[in-house]
Amino acid sequence: MSASNIDALSINTIRTLSIDSVEKANSGHPGLPMGSAPMAYVLWSQFLKHNPADAAWPNRDRFVLSAGHGSMLLYSLLHLFGYGLTREDLMQFRQWGSKTPGHPEFGHTRGVETTTGPLGQGITNAVGFAMAERFLAARYNRPDHEIIDHMTYTLVGDGDLMEGISYEAMSFAGHQKLGKLVVLYDSNDISLDGPTDMAFTENIKLRAEAAGWHYLRVENGDDDLDAIARAIAAAKSDPRPSLLEIRTTIGYGSPGRQGTSKAHGSPLGAEETALAKTFYQWNESETHFVPSEVTAHFQSIATRGAEAQAAWEARMSAYEKVHPELAAELRLALSGELPANWDADLPTYTVDKSGFATRQISGAALNAIAKRVPTLFGGSADLAGSNETTMKTESVYSAANPAGRNVWFGVREHAMGAMLNGLALHGGVHPYGGTFLVFSDYLRPSIRLAALMKLPVIYVFTHDSIGVGEDGPTHQPIEQIAALRLIPNLLLIRPADANETVAAWHYAMAHRDRPVALALTRQKLPVYTDSDQLARQGVARGAYTLSKESAALNILLIASGSEVILAMDAQKALEAEGIGARVVSIPCPQLFLEQTAAYQEEVLPSSIRARVVIEMAHPAGLASFAKDHGVSIGIDHFGASAPAAVLMEKFGFTVSHVIAAAKTSLREVTHA
């Protein structure tokens, strides 16, 4: 084996580690690592500020492999730089329990900044990273104390740029002038099904420039390392976000596969692997071979990262002496913890029959928290006035005002969701975003990834039922509540009154192990007796007894959100007839099912088989609580355009219907 220099030797090591891992797994995508290895090597060896000894160093540069199917590129780099991935880990690529899953997973493998694979998500996460860096720098940096100062790099493929979310992300980033964001575009004209010109012929240069980006093109990304380095250096110095189109050959070095879709998503096979290694002048007798010179070379580069972090720690110490309060605030923010007494201004509400829309109370809670949590950061997809997501004493985040905390995401729901994930992953901010509940469909892929990564993102979803009224079925959510509850690790909280809404915000801020979605009303809801005493603990447990039975318990009335008032009014009517009824508010069934069996039995005694479950959404959301003899009142069809009161009557969300359902359930139990 021979190589012309250490750079070529290092690049071919990345390529062959990737080839060998895919071959051993008999599964994976070798073409991208083979083609992108030069640009990745130049970036990681010359520009990326990182310390393998501390993968969570706050001021590190971020690298996002948006084209996550090429995961072996990242795993090879992490192995060579000493992030703890061993040769054996690489050999376990795509196997049960390995540290090298098919696509990079945040929290699973040291050095992986975000979970990627669904195309377009990574580049949009990267926009969120860049947003957070700029906000924290604007808030905390002071003259001669540049504490927050790092880049965000992402490697994308043609598929990322075909996905619609990338258009939203690039439009937003260009508008915001996020100059510390650099996209390396692996431009090879090949996608999984064949040449990209079958479906993708747009001019990326014009697209980037139209969105306000700096664009450069490298004609030979296969081996012109100097051109790649010059492009990255130019991108770093430009005040705009940069897209570097680097022309590469997918599967470079494989004579029978390079430049074709055959190199994209399948192992090369033994014969082609041997031919590729011959082309690289590589040792064919051993798989996962790393020359000793390469090991020493990467170790040497890694020491620069440790030195950079040590220098940053020294700057941080100096900063703490000059600006102790700011430094303490920054350290707390970076830790993800909340300030002392962060919830001191949260309001409580007494009984009020006319009440409030829960979206209105959500806005009040948000503003109370914003006063004491200076890194609460977010906004809405052009619905801030309707979602009540504006921090009223804070300014707008913009290129001219990067310390602003109100983000105008524009009508970009999908990108908003993925940018929120990037903000949460970066750390230092507490992100939230809002839109109508029915439009949660637009950002569902991003919500799913937030849940997969267990990110503390808060979604403010308003207009949560047919109570939207005249806007009609396009704006009236039916299946969304049930669908969101099906996402593992996502909590959907649907509060019934003002105090439950405040409690929902409290839970969402205090518990940072998974995302939380708030489903809020447009219409006013009364404030219930004792909810100011019961809601905080009740919401945290997912369900609680809001109104106890006054006689021997005969039936359970179980409801969430705006339908709790139906249960409360039906309870009065039933008890007037001598039927003991209990009203159970169930704002979050997922949390309730996590409680002890004893608590679940206390709230919903299994001996009480007569039940009515009420929710103005698809009955799949709560129907399981009706058990064998209960009745579920929901809506399994689309709504209509009419005043909300008319819709509720037409679709059976009335007290008389609840009473009739209760008596039906009681008869079922009697005759069972």
| Digit-coded pLDDT (tens) for 576-602 | 999 999 999 999 999 999 999 999 999
Give whole-number Cα distances, 323 to 329, 370, 472, in Å: 10, 22, 54
The answer to whether residue 536 sits within a structural domain is: no
Between strands 631-633 and 181-187, the pairing is unpaired
pLDDT number for residue 292: 96
Which residue, 270, 291, 306, sits at the end of a domain? 306
The total number of structural domains in the chain stands at 3
Same domain, residue pair 409 and 556:
no
Phi, psi of 378 (to 5 degrees): 170, -165
pLDDT, tens only, 399-452: 999 999 999 999 999 999 999 999 999 999 999 999 999 999 999 999 999 999
Residue 330 lies in a domain: no
Domain that holds residue 451: 352-527
Is the same domain home to 564 and 494?
A: no
Pair type for strands 430-436 and 214-218: unpaired
Same domain, 575 and 439: no
Number of helices (H), then strands (E), in the chain: 24, 20
Cβ–Cβ under 8 Å, residues 284 and 270:
no
- Is 117 part of any known ligand binding site? yes
Rounded to whole angstroms, how far apart are CA atoms 616 and 468?
Answer: 11
- Do 169 and 27 fall into the same domain? yes
Cα distances (Å, whole numbers) of residue 392 to 356, 364, 395, 454 = 19, 10, 8, 29
Task: Assess whether 228 and 96 both reside in one domain.
Answer: yes
User: Is 439 flagged in the annotation as binding?
Assistant: yes
What is the reported pLDDT for 4? 58
**What distances in angstroms separate CA 532 from CA 351, 539, 543, one per listed residue?**
9, 12, 15
Query: 495 and 552: one domain?
Result: no
Domain end marker among 493, 527, 561:
527
> With contact defined as beta carbons under 8 Å apart, do 290 and 26 qualify?
no
Question: Quick check: is 340 in a domain?
Answer: no
User: Same structural domain for residues 231 and 365?
Assistant: no
The alpha-helical segments, DSSP class H, found in 343-403 are 358-372, 384-387
277 in a structural domain:
yes
Within this chain, do residues 413 and 270 fall inside the same structural domain, yes or no? no
Catalytic residue among 413, 500, 549, 615: 413
Q: State whether 511 and 554 are in the same domain.
A: no
User: Do 287 and 267 contact (CB within 8 A), yes or no?
Assistant: no
Q: Is 69 annotated as a binding residue?
A: yes
Strand ranges of the sheet holding 631-633, from the earlier edge strand across to the other edge: 544-547, 580-585, 553-559, 611-614, 631-633
Q: What are phi and psi of 275, to 5 degrees?
A: -65, -40
Which residues of the chain, if any, have pLDDT below 50? 1-3
119 in a labelled binding site: yes
Q: What CATH number does residue 203 fall under?
A: 3.40.50.970
Q: What is the DSSP letter of 142?
A: B
Q: Are residues 143 and 227 in the same domain?
A: yes
Co-location of 513 and 557 in the same domain: no
Spell out the SS3 assignment of 493-559: ECCCCHHHHHHHHHHHHHCCCCCEEEECCCCEEEECCCHHHHHHHHHHCCCEEEECCCCCEEEEEEE
CATH number of the domain that 633 lies in? Answer: 3.40.50.920
Q: Is the alpha carbon torsion for 315, 147, 62, 223 positive or negative?
A: negative
- Looking at the domain assignment, is residue 247 inside a domain? yes
**pTM for this predicted structure:** 0.97
| 522 labelled ligand-binding | yes
**Of 476, 496, 527, which one is at a domain's C-terminal end?**
527
Q: Is 413 a catalytic residue?
A: yes
Kindly state whether residue 66 falls inside one of the protein's structural domains: yes
C-alpha separations of 314 from 56, 303, 367 in Å: 17, 17, 36
**Computed over its alpha carbons, how large is the radius of gyration of the chain?**
28
Residue 336 included in any domain = no
Q: How far are the Cα atoms of 386, 398, 425 from residue 56, in angstroms, in the given order? A: 38, 27, 11
Cα separation values, 300 from 3, 62, 199, 296, Å:
19, 20, 44, 6
Task: Find out whether 386 is annotated in a ligand binding site.
Answer: yes
Largest CA distance in the chain: 93
**Is residue 41 included in any domain, yes or no?**
yes
Q: 164 among the known binding-site residues? A: no
* Residue 108 among known ligand-binding residues: no
Q: Are residues 586 and 495 in the same domain?
A: no
DSSP state of 95: -
